[in-house]
Amino acid sequence: MNYLAGGVNSPIPIPPGYPKDIISGRGPYVIDKNGKKYIDLWMGYGALIFGHADKDIIKTISETIKNGWFFSYQTDIEKEVAEILHEIIPSAERVRFATTGSDAVAYALRLARAYTGRKKILGIKGGYHGVHENMMPGSGTIFNLTPDLIHFNDPKAVVEKLKSKEYACFILEPILANCGCTPPNDGYLKKIRKIEIPAFRRTGNGKFIELFGATGNNLKNVDIKIPLGCFIGVSGVSGSGKSSLINETLMPVLSNFFYNSLYTPLPYREMNGKFNIDKLVEIDQSAIGRTPRSNPATYTNVFSDIRKLFVETQDSKIRGFKPGRFSFNVKGGRCEECRGAGVQTIEMNFLPAVYVHCKACNGKRYNPETLAVKYRGKSINDVLDMTITQAVVFFEHMPSIVNKLKALEDVGLGYVTLGQSSTTLSGGESQRVKLATELARRGTGNSLYLLDEPTTGLHFEDIHVLLGVLQKIVDQGNTVIIIEHNLDVLRSVDYIFDLGPEGGAKGGMIVAQGTPEELRANKMSVTGSYL
C-alpha cells in the first residue's frame, strides 16, 4: 500500500510522483495500470472519481470536471480569458479566477496591502448592519479591529482619511442588484448619498382624527389630534407608549369600525373623525405568503392577467386550455410531484423545513404539456423567471399588466423575479411588495396607512426608496402614520408626535408635537435635541 502526502484540493499542477495512469478505483482506493493501490491524501480526485462508484455521482463529477466549476484544472475558457487579460495588462504574471465577489475583494485587499505596505482598509458602506472583515475579530481577540469608524454621510471625515495616508485602499459598494447597479465613479466624494429633507411641510387637508383619553398601559390620559393628508411620525424612546397609542388603541378602533374586526383596543374615552377616511391599511415586514407558492406575481394579482394572455394563444385554444391550466395551485397544468411549488419540502425534526428543487419538473412548476404553450416565444415558466424590469419591457403593450409591474419597479424591486418564492424575500422586500400593490390600486386618495418601524434592518438606499414611495402615497391625498426611531426618516415627515419623556412609568405623555423644525426648538423633546 502506498500513501500520497496529505493536503486539500489545491490549484497547483500535479506534483512529481503522483500516479498519472490511474485506471480504476474501489472504495477509497485508486489503482494504477500496474495494479498498485493508493490512498490519495494529496488531491482527493481519484477517490472521488473512481471510488464509491455511484452512477449519479460519477456523472455529476464528470460534468463538473468538464466545466471546471469545482476542480482546479484549467479549462479552455479560462485559458482564453487569461490570454486576453494578459494582452491588456502585459505586466500581469498570474490570473486568478474568483467564484464570488467576496473572493475578488479579498484578492484586491491583499494586493493593495502588499503594494502600499499599509494595513488599514476604509469601506464606504451603506448601512449600520454591514460590517467589514476588519471589524469581525476572532473569538477573544480585538487586534484586527479597525480602530476608528466614520459616521455615515460624513464627506469631511472621508476627506480627512484620504489625507492621512494610512489606508491601503478604499472599498466602495455599488447599489444592488442583478439588473445592474449604481457604480462608484471618480467623483464619488461628490456622490455620497443622503436622504434629503423635503423642501416644504404639508399642512394637511383640514380634516382630523381625534382620540381622547387613552389610558392603556403607561399612557396618561393622552389626547391626540392627527392632521389628515400628511406624513406623520410618532417618535420617542423605547417604552414611551408609541405602540400602545397607535398599534393598540388607534388601529384596533379603526379596524373594528371599517372591517368589523374583533380587536380589543386599550382603554380610551372617545374618537372623532372616523368618517374622514375611507380605509385603514397596515403595512409591515411580514412575509407576503407562508409557502413557496406565493410570489410577487400572485400577491399583486398580475399573474391572473398573465394567465389570461396564455389562454388566448392559438396553442392554448387548440388544446382547450382554460386559465386554471396555467395556475400552479390547482390540478391540471401543474407538476403533481411538487404540486406546483417547484420545490419539494423535506420536514426536519426540531429544525425548519428544507426546500429542494423538484426533480420531476426541474423547478419549473408545470408539466410538459403546459410548458409547450408559448406566448411571444415564452412559456409560462419563462415569464415567471423574468425579473420585474424584464417583464415591464416584455409586456409593454399590455397597460393592465405594466401598471402593476411598474409599481413594483418604482419601489426598487426591478431585480426580483415574478415567480420568486415569498419565503426567499427579505422583510424589506415583502414590505415594498405590499406598498407597490397599494400604489397600483385605484385609490380614493383618502386612506390611512400605518407602519411600525419599517426601516428596521434596511440599507440606507432601501430607506431612500421607501421614503420616496411613502411620500408619493401622501401626495395622492392619503395619510401615512409611521412609528420610527430613524432620525433621517423623522426629518422627512410633515408632523411629529414625540412621546416620553422617558420609558415605562415615566413615559406615556406627548411631550412635544409639530414639524421637525418645531421639535428641534422644543427643549422638552429628547428626539428634537437629536434632529
pLDDT digits (tens, 9 = 90+) for 149-168: 565 556 677 777 777 778 88
pLDDT of 488 strictly over 50: yes
Residue-level pLDDT at 440: 85
Q: What mean pLDDT do residues 314-321 have?
A: 92
Please indicate whether residue 121 or residue 177 has the higher confidence score (pLDDT): 121
Q: Cis omega before residue 501 (within 30°)?
A: yes
Contact yes or no for 242/294 (Cβ under 8 A)? no
Q: What is the pLDDT of residues 89-146, one digit of tens each?
A: 877 777 777 656 666 777 778 888 888 888 887 765 544 333 333 333 333 333 344 4
Q: Is the pTM of this model over 0.95?
A: no
Residue-level pLDDT at 61: 58
Residue 273 banded pLDDT, cuts 50, 70, 90: very high
For the chain, the distance separating the N- and C-terminal CA atoms, rounded to the nearest angstrom, is 76
The structural domains of the chain, ordered by start, are 2-53 (no CATH), 98-191 (3.40.640.10), 208-286+425-530 (3.40.50.300), 296-423 (1.20.1580.10)
Q: Which of 53, 43, 58, 34 is closest to 3 using CA atoms?
A: 43
Residue-level pLDDT at 499: 94
How many CB atoms are located within 10 Å of the residue 408 CB?
Answer: 28
Residue-level pLDDT at 81: 80
* Pick from 196-205, 226-235, 373-382, 474-483: least confident: 196-205
User: Distances in Å between the alpha carbon of 275 and those of 207, 212, 254, 441, 477?
Assistant: 10, 16, 10, 21, 15
Please indicate whether residue 104 or residue 331 has the higher confidence score (pLDDT): 331
pLDDT of 380 strictly over 50: yes
Average pLDDT over all residues of the chain: 79
Contact yes or no for 50/25 (Cβ under 8 A)? yes
Q: Which of 304, 303, 417, 310 is closest to 374 using CA atoms?
A: 310
Residue-level pLDDT at 120: 80
Going by their DSSP bridges, the two strands 509-514 and 495-500 should be labelled as: antiparallel
* Pick from 50-54, 77-81, 381-385, 514-518: least confident: 50-54
Alpha helices of 139-295 — where are they, by DSSP H? 155-164, 188-191, 242-245, 251-259
